Amino acid sequence: VYVPPEDFEVLLNEVHLVWKNDKAELERIANQVTEAVQSFGAASNQDIEIGKLQIDHFVTELYLEDQALDEFSPPSSKFPLESELLLLLDVAIRDNNETALQLAENRLTAMAMGGIRDNVGGGFHRYSVDNEWLVPHFEKMLYNQAHLARAYLKAYERTGKNLYRRVAEQTLEYVLRDMRSEEGLFWSATDADSEGREGTFFLWTADEIVESVGTDAELILNHYGVTEAGNFEGKNILFLSELPEDRAFAAEVSLESYLDKLSADVEKLRASRELRPKPYLDDKVITAWNAMMITTLAQAGSILEESRFLDAAITAAEHLWMHAWDPNEKHLFRILRDGKLSESGKLRDYAYLSQSMLTLYDETGDELWLKRSQSLVDSMVEKFWDRQQGGFFSVTENDAADLIARHKDRFDESLPSGNSVAASSLSKLYRRTGQHIYARLADQLFQTFAAEIVQIPTSYGYTLKALQDHRDGSIGPLEFAGSGSVRVSVRAAGRSDNRIQTIVEVTLADGWHVQSNQPLADNLIATKISSVSEDWHLENATYPPADEAYLSFQTDPLSVWSGTVQIPVDFKAAGERDSALQLNLQLQACNDELCLLPENVQLELPVGLIKG
C-alpha cells in the first residue's frame, strides 16, 4: 500500500507517541500479530483427497463471479490473474470443457481489445481500474508479459484464433525490443508516469494521430475508437470497439490487407511516440521474472514456429546460468544489475528457473538443460523444504533469521506461487528422469496444502494445474515414457483441406529399445499408433524398417527400434476440422536387462498447430 510521505510522517509520529506512553500495550499487540502470522504460515498436511472435484469448484466459482458482474457493478481494479487463466485453458484443453474455455476467452478477448493492452507498442499494463479493461494503471511488469503471452499462446493452441496469436506475438516482440538488455536478459518494469503524470506517454489526441500517420488516418482513428473529446482526461486511451476480423468484413477487404494497413499506421504511431519522454525503466534483472519469460519464449518458438523466440530464450538462460548461479556453492542469486549480483535467491527464483530449464529441455532435447534443472531442484529441496510439515518455505533458514515467521508462498494469485511452480518442476523431473524421490516430494507438497485447496480452490489455480499434470501427464504434442527413457512427440508435416500429415517421433535413451510394429513373438508388445479423436481418422502409418537384436536374457531375435524413429502418419478429417488431433502410442520400453510395464502414451496436436 502506498502511503504519501506527509501521511507516513504523521504515522511515524503516532507510533512514537504510543511507544513512549504505552509501550506494554504496543508489545502485547505486537506479540498477538506475531502469533497470528506464525499460525497463518503453518500448513495442515492432512491426508485429504484433492483433484477433479476442486477443479470443478474452481470453474464453477469463476463462472458465478463472471455472471454476477454486469453494467451495474461498481468500478473496481481488475487484474489479469494469469494463474486462473492458465488453469481454465488447461481444463479446456484436457477435458474439452466449454465453460472453462468461454471464461478464459471472455477475459482474454476483453483484455486484447481494452486499454490495458498497449495497442501501439505491444504488451500489457499491470491492471485496469475499471470493469471494462479500458483504463489501466500504466505500469508495465515483465512478469505480466511472460504469463499473459503464455495464456494467449495456449488460447491460440486450443482455438486456432489468429487474434490470440497476434497478441502473443506482439507482446513478445515488445519485450524483445524494449525490455531486453544487450546481454539478452530482461529488465523488470517500466513506470506508469512520465513528464510528471501517469499515462502521458500512452495517451493520444486525434490531432496527434493525424500528425503522426498522415491525412489517411481514418482507419486507425476508427479502429481505436479515437474521438475529439477523448476517453481519459481529454485524451484517448486506444482500444478496440470491434475485432479486426469484423472491421475487415464490414469494409469488404481481406483481413490480411486490413492488418497490413493497420500495422503500417501503428508503426508510424510508435515511431512518433518514441520521441516523447519515456517512463522510468527499472533495469534490474530478477531471476524469477527472467525465468518466466524464458519459459514463454521457448514455448512460443514451437507453437508459433518462430525460431527467434527460442533463440532468445536460450540466450537469456545461458547468461542467467553463467552469472546468477554459483555451481560450487549451489547458490542462486536473485538480482543482477550493472554486472553486480545481490540478494540470495528465494524459492520463486529456484522454482521458476528450474521450470524454464525443463521447458528448454522439452523444446531442444538437449540434456544439458535437464541436468541444470535437476541441480536447481536438488538445491531448492535442500534449502527450502520443510522437513516437518512438507512444502517449501519462501526463504532459506539463514535469510529468515530476522523474520517473525518463515512463511510459505502457496497462493496462486496474480502469478503462480513458488510452491505451485516447484510442484510442477518436481513432477516433470520425475517423468523425465524416473527418479521417484521427485514424485514423492510432489505428492507430499500437494497434501501439505490439501485442506486449504478444498476450502478455497480459486486461490490454488496453478497448483491444481500442476496436480493434473502430475497425476495424468501433460496434454500436448510432447510426452515422456519409460521412466524418462522414451521421448515421444508429434508435429504437423503437411496440411490440405481435410487431411493432415504428421510425424510421430520416438527418441530412446542409449541402451533402450521398443518392439517394432511387428514383433517376432505373440507375447511381445507392438509399438503402434491409433487415433482417439472422433473427428480425425488414421488413414495410414508408415512404420520404418526394424533392427534385429538379441538380449542377454533370451536367445530368440527381436524386431526392435532404438535411437530416434520417425513414423509418418496421415489423418483424414471425419467431422469438425477445428478440433484437436488426439492419438495414442502403445509401447514397452526395454533395455538389455529388463522390460518396463507396457504404456499407452497420449499425444495431442492442438488446433493452432494443425492450422499452422
**How far from chain centre, in Å, is Cα 295?**
7
One DSSP character per residue, 421-490 reads HHHHHHHHHHHHH--HHHHHHHHHHHHHTHHHHHH-GGG-HHHHHHHHHHHH---SSEEEEGGGTEEEEE
Rounded mean pLDDT, 39-50 = 70
Amino acid identity, position 477: P
The CA distance from 132 to 152, in Å, is 19
378 SS3 class: helix
- pLDDT tens, 456-482? 999 999 999 999 999 999 999 999 999
Give me 397's grid cell.
Answer: 533458514
> What pLDDT sits at residue 33?
82
Rounded mean pLDDT, 534-563 = 91
For residue 484, the 8-state DSSP code is G
The CA distance from 287 to 349, in Å, is 6
**Phi–psi pair at 354, nearest 5 degrees:** -65, -40
More confident: 45 or 586:
586
The CA distance from 45 to 448, in Å, is 4
Lowest mean pLDDT among 8-22, 458-472, 590-604: 8-22
The CA distance from 360 to 363, in Å, is 5
> What pLDDT sits at residue 548?
93
One DSSP character per residue, 182-242 reads TTS-B--EE-SEETTEETGGG-B-HHHHHHHH-S--HHHHHHTT--SS-SBTTBB----SS
Lowest mean pLDDT among 58-62, 71-75, 222-226: 71-75
The CA distance from 330 to 320, in Å, is 14
More confident: 401 or 458:
458
**Beta 127-128 vs 189-190: how paired, if at all?**
unpaired
**SS3 breakdown of the chain: % helix, strand, coil, rounded to 5?**
45, 20, 35
Q: How many CA atoms lie within 13 A of 495 on its CB side?
A: 12
The CA distance from 341 to 41, in Å, is 30
Lowest mean pLDDT among 229-233, 261-265, 575-579: 575-579
Give me 334's grid cell.
Answer: 536473485
Give me 377's grid cell.
Answer: 531442484
For residue 524, the 8-state DSSP code is S
The CA distance from 85 to 100, in Å, is 9
- pLDDT tens, 63-96? 998 888 765 566 677 999 999 999 999 999 999 9
End-to-end alpha carbon distance in the chain:
45
- Whether the pLDDT of residue 225 is over 70: the answer is yes
11 SS3 class: helix
Rounded mean pLDDT, 405-410 = 91
Hey, where are the domains in the chain?
479-611
Per the document, the length of the chain is 612
- Whether the pLDDT of residue 280 is over 80: the answer is yes
Query: Are the beta carbons of 470 and 429 closer than 8 angstroms?
Result: no
Amino acid identity, position 330: K
pLDDT confidence tier of residue 47, bands split at 50, 70 and 90: confident
The CA distance from 320 to 325, in Å, is 7
More confident: 339 or 348:
348
Query: Is the pTM here over 0.85, yes or no?
Result: yes
**Phi–psi pair at 561, nearest 5 degrees:** -120, 140
pLDDT confidence tier of residue 555, bands split at 50, 70 and 90: confident
The CA distance from 227 to 39, in Å, is 55
402 SS3 class: coil
pLDDT confidence tier of residue 449, bands split at 50, 70 and 90: very high
For residue 89, CA distances in Å to 253, 418, 461, 605 come to 32, 20, 11, 15
The CA distance from 392 to 41, in Å, is 11
More confident: 299 or 43:
299
- Whether the pLDDT of residue 542 is over 90: the answer is yes
User: How much is the mean pLDDT over the chain?
Assistant: 94
- Whether the pLDDT of residue 194 is over 80: the answer is yes
- pLDDT tens, 283-323? 999 999 999 999 999 999 999 999 999 999 999 999 999 99
> What pLDDT sits at residue 577?
67
Residue ranges of alpha helices (H) inside 274-306 are: 287-303
State the architecture of 479-611 in CATH terms.
Sandwich (2.60)
> What pLDDT sits at residue 338?
92
